[in-house]
């Protein structure tokens, strides 16, 4: 990281300006204790924040307005003003305006992350429908980040204190899930998951469970053959390559019986297979992390919640946790880099030290 700063600079995107994103940002950053650990930068507009701040009368927040990132104040919440025009803000409405400015905020935040002007990025939720355009044809943040960083594969990893759940396939129709279950894709996701658990979460020898696709993990081929023909062979090859991978497990009772607590992460075959138990067990403080990127990006594990937008009812727990997960990953990556810097020198020093101990013992 090229940034020289005492505290990590965490970028924050606004998400859909008609959803709960701005409310979450205001509620979270109104706790001034956060400034002891990070310097937040919101990519958006002070006018939009002021609109929602007026409806949150009991919350006190001040921020430093920026026109460029060279003027960041480490003692305040910072707002990088990306637009000056007056725009119609209509909480609870899915419209073109909400999508347009959500994409504008996201692109600016990701550019700053790629240029090492910030240490990590937290993205507020947007609607997948109204962000679609000729310039943004993605089903969510994850595929957009994958293309921007030009990496062959990433994994949507849901993170909570008591579990981590990665997804093989993400926002696709159930009817298309089987097409995405291939040996090559399973192996690619497992490698990314293993590497992320080591570098981003500090787990030296991660244990990963893999869920089956069909009921009862196929019942030995009686209710589907993906397990026997694709998933088991992928697990076997992964284990040959020194990955601690186990399964496939039947998904119906896996989480209910607490089996997820025996592993450092779980790979689910499709979105709801992983997200339903995750959200049920994460107590409203789950975080979505994009593993496999050079940059660090997290988000809360929920959507725009248009039904409560602008009503002051949004719970900021998941958003706040997304900020702290960023801080943890920054720290873990730094520790990993330090531990693996010039390993030859460390090995040599160890050998030399042992030889010296043996010489002294002989004397």
Tens-place pLDDT, residues 42-54: 999 999 999 999 9
Q: Are 114 and 102 in contact (CB under 8 A)?
A: no
Whether pLDDT at 347 is above 50: no
What CATH class does 153-292 carry? alpha beta
Higher model confidence: residue 29 or residue 356? 29
CA-angle at 66, arms to 61 and 69, nearest 5°: 120
Higher model confidence: residue 354 or residue 192? 192
In the structure encoding, which two tokens stand for residue 211, read together?
């869920």
Q: Are 140 and 126 in contact (CB under 8 A)?
A: no
CA-angle at 332, arms to 328 and 334, nearest 5°: 120
Whether pLDDT at 12 is above 60: yes
What CATH class does 1-151+294-363 carry? alpha beta
Whether pLDDT at 345 is above 60: no
CA dist 354 and 303 (Å) reads: 56
CA dist 23 and 29 (Å) reads: 10
pLDDT in tens, 290-343: 999 999 999 999 999 999 999 999 999 999 999 999 999 999 999 998 888 865
| Residue 358 pLDDT | 55
> At 184, is the pLDDT very low, low, confident or very high (cuts 50, 70, 90)?
very high
| Residue 255 pLDDT | 94
Q: What are the residue ranges spanned by the domains of the chain?
A: 1-151+294-363, 153-292
Beta bridge partners of residue 81, listed in sequence order: 44
With 0.75 as the threshold, say if the pTM is over it: yes
pLDDT in tens, 75-129: 999 999 999 899 999 999 999 999 999 999 999 999 999 999 999 999 999 998 9
Whether pLDDT at 60 is above 50: yes
Over pLDDT 70: what percentage of the chain?
93
pLDDT in tens, 143-174: 999 999 999 999 999 999 879 999 999 999 99
Per CATH, 1-151+294-363 and 153-292 having the same topology is answered yes
| Residue 14 pLDDT | 97
- Average pLDDT of the residues of the chain: 91
């Amino acid at each position: 990281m090229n940034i020289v700063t005492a505290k990590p600079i965490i970028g924050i995107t606004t998400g859909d300006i008609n959803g709960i994103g701005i409310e979450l940002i205001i509620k979270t950053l109104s706790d001034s204790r956060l400034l002891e650990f990070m310097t937040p930068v919101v990519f958006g507009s002070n006018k939009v924040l002021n609109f929602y701040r007026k409806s949150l009368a009991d919350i006190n927040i001040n921020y430093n307005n920026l026109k460029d990132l060279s003027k960041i104040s480490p003692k305040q919440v910072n707002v990088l003003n990306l637009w000056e025009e007056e725009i119609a803000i209509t909480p609870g409405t899915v419209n073109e305006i909400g999508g347009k400015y959500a994409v504008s905020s996201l692109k600016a935040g990701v550019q700053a992350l790629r240029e090492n002007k910030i240490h990590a990025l937290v993205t507020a939720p947007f609607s997948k429908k109204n962000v679609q355009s000729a310039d943004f044809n993605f089903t969510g943040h994850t595929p957009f980040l994958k293309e921007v960083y030009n990496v062959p594969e990433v994994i949507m990893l849901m993170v909570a204190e008591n579990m981590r759940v990665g997804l093989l396939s993400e926002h696709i129709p159930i009817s298309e899930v089987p097409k995405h279950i291939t040996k090559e894709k399973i192996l690619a996701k497992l490698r990314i998951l293993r590497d992320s658990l080591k570098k981003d979460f500090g787990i030296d020898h991660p244990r990963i469970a893999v869920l089956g696709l069909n009921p009862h993990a196929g019942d030995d081929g009686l209710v589907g053959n993906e397990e026997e023909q694709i998933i088991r062979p992928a697990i076997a090859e992964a284990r040959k390559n020194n990955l601690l991978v186990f399964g496939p497990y039947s998904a119906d009772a896996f989480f209910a019986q607490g089996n997820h607590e025996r592993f450092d992460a779980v790979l689910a075959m499709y979105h709801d297979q992983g997200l339903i138990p995750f959200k049920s067990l994460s107590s409203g403080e789950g975080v979505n992390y994009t593993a496999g990127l050079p940059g660090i990006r997290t988000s809360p594990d929920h959507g725009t919640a248009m039904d409560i937008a602008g009503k002051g009812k949004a719970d900021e727990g998941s958003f706040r946790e997304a900020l702290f997960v960023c801080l943890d990953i920054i720290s873990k990556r730094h520790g990993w880099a330090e531990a693996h810097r010039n390993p030859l020198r460390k090995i040599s020093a160890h050998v030399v030290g042992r030889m010296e101990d043996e010489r002294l013992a002989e004397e």
